[in-house]
Each structure stands twice: as C-alpha cells, then as structure tokens.
C-alpha cells in the first residue's frame, strides 16, 4: 500500500495571538465572549462552497470548516495589515525629524566653511511642510490604532474559538476518508476473517499434534483484536468478529488428514486439504 502525504499545510495561525498574549479573550467578560462567538457554534455554513458536493458528509463538513476558518483568518490578516500601515504613519514624523536634523547639520557645516554647498537650506521648507502633514496623520493614526484594538481582539478571539473546534471536524473526516475512500474498514474485517480461518487450522494442528516436544502451548489462547469502531463501517461490529480464539480450532480436518496419510503416506497436501 502506498500512502502519500501532501507537503504543504494551508493552516496559518501565526496571526492568531500577539507574541505577549496567551488569552485572546483577556479583558472580556464571559457574556461578551459568548455574544462575540455565538455564531461559531454548530456546523460550518454549508453554502461556503458548492465544490464539495461530491465528498462524503464528514469530508464535506470539514472542507467547509476549512473555508470558514480561512475567512476568519483573512479578517485577522486584514486588521493586522491595517495596524502595520498605521504604525508606519505613526513612525513617519520621527524619520522626517531625523532628516531635518541632518539638513541643519549640513547647513552648519557650510556656514563653517567645511562644505562647498548648502542643500539643507533648500530642503527645509519642503521638510517642514512634510513634517506638519505627517504629524497630523500620525495623531490621526494613533487614534485609529486605538480604535482598531477592539475589532482585532474580537477577530482573534473568534479565530481562536474556531481553531479550538478543529478536532470536531478533522477526526470524523479522516475516519470517513480511511473507511469509505480507502476501504480500510472492509479490508480490516476481511483480514481478520482470514486470520481467524488460518488460526482455526493452526490451532487444530496444535490440538491434534500437541504433546511433549511438539512446540505447541498446552493452553488455548484467545486474542481480542481492535474493532476500530471509529470507522463508520465498523461502528456496530460485534467484538466476536475480531476475536482470535483456539476454541474455534478445526481439528476434524486434521483428523481426516491423518486417516488419509495412514492410507496413502504419499498423498499430496492439496488432495488432503483445500485452502481457499
């Protein structure tokens, strides 16, 4: 059996929390958290994409969950991008002030005869006008950034709540894939059935040939194999279907074989016992 795993993982949760935070709902009361995340309960919106109609119910539900989560992540990413833009506007005046200081230093050098030209003086008016506009924008960006904190916290909280529900959708989807698409439930049931049949023959051999020095254990053994009830096709299977027991030993076929060998020691195995 060849299994191939996809290398890339579409999950991106780096924007989920700031580096210094552990609880995206910090500062919010339980009622506020409940109101903010009430629409995130239950199944994912089924109308997110019609492209999943060919999938099984759990695979389809998981695919819609992925889109649901990506939509919330996109909201967080958009708010973080706006936050970065505002931070740049807030930092801009300091950069212009540094440029003005450099221009003043160049003019001072020209006045002292250490420079042959005076470009700083010509730049000053442009820089002053630029600084006035940047300071105005920086003040406005500071206000806007403060207003952005609440929706960003809310978006992170909503994304965190949805991420917490991941196993609700991943587990059933992977079981459905394993069972219905790879057929592992049917294959396991068939393999155990074959193992039971082989064990019945071998335990029959053991009971017929058991004795001192035979190499067979004196007591019958019973082994309970896993039922894997998480797979839909095995959910209601009886434990007996996955029990390997020497109690099912087929001794009759070997006693018949012994009688045949007494009559004809050269008998071929295929003539004595037919293995399907």
Between these two residues, 241 and 276, which has the higher pLDDT value?
241
pLDDT digits (tens, 9 = 90+) for 146-201: 999 999 999 999 999 999 999 999 999 999 999 998 999 999 999 999 999 998 88
Question: Are 165 and 52 within one domain?
Answer: yes
Question: Are 167 and 207 within one domain?
Answer: no
In a domain, 8, yes or no: no
| SS3 of residue 52 by DSSP | helix
Q: What is the mean pLDDT of the chain?
A: 85
Confidence of residue 143 (pLDDT cuts 50, 70, 90): very high
Most confidently predicted of 59-63, 142-146, 266-270 = 142-146
Between these two residues, 246 and 80, which has the higher pLDDT value?
80
Is 175:58 a contact under the CB 8 Å cutoff? yes
Full domain range(s) for residue 244 = 184-272
Q: Which residues, including other chains, have CB under 8 Å from residue 133's CB and lie 6 or more apart?
A: none
Q: Which tokens hold the place of 160?
A: 């965190």
Which run of H or of E encompasses 243?
A: strand 243-245
Question: Are 145 and 205 within one domain?
Answer: no
Between these two residues, 266 and 9, which has the higher pLDDT value?
266
Is 262 exposed, middle or buried, given 0-12, 13-18 or 19+ CB atoms closer than 10 A?
Answer: exposed
| Domain boundary, last residue among 149, 178, 207 | 178
Question: CA–CA separation, 79 vs 152, rounded Å?
Answer: 6
- In this structure, what DSSP letter does residue 45 have? P
Question: Are 123 and 160 within one domain?
Answer: yes
In a domain, 16, yes or no: no
Question: CA–CA separation, 72 vs 154, rounded Å?
Answer: 11
């Amino acid at each position: 059996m060849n299994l191939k795993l996809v290398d890339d993982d579409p999950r991106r949760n780096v924007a989920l929390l700031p580096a210094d935070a552990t609880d995206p709902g910090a500062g919010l009361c339980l009622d506020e958290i409940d109101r903010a995340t009430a629409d995130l309960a239950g199944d994912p919106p089924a109308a997110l994409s019609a492209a999943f109609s060919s999938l099984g119910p759990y695979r389809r539900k998981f695919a819609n969950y992925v889109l649901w989560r990506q939509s919330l992540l996109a909201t967080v990413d958009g708010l973080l991008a706006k936050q970065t833009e505002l931070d740049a506007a807030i930092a801009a005046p300091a950069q212009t002030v540094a440029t003005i200081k450099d221009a003043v230093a160049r003019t001072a050098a020209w006045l002292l005869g250490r420079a042959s030209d005076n470009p700083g003086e010509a730049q000053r008016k442009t820089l002053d006008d630029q600084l006035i506009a940047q300071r105005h924008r920086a003040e406005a960006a500071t206000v806007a950034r403060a207003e952005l904190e609440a929706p960003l916290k809310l978006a992170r909280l909503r994304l965190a709540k949805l991420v917490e529900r991941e196993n609700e959708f991943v587990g059933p989807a992977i079981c459905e894939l394993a069972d219905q698409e790879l057929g592992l439930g049917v294959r396991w049931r068939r393999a155990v059935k074959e193992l039971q049949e082989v064990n019945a023959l071998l335990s029959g051999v053991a009971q017929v040939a058991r004795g001192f020095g035979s190499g067979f254990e004196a007591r019958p053994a019973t082994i309970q194999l896993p039922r894997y009830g998480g797979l839909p096709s095995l959910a209601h299977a009886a434990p007996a279907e996955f029990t390997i027991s020497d109690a099912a030993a087929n001794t009759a076929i070997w006693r018949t074989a012994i009688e045949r060998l007494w009559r004809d020691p050269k008998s071929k195995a295929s003539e004595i016992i037919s293995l399907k």
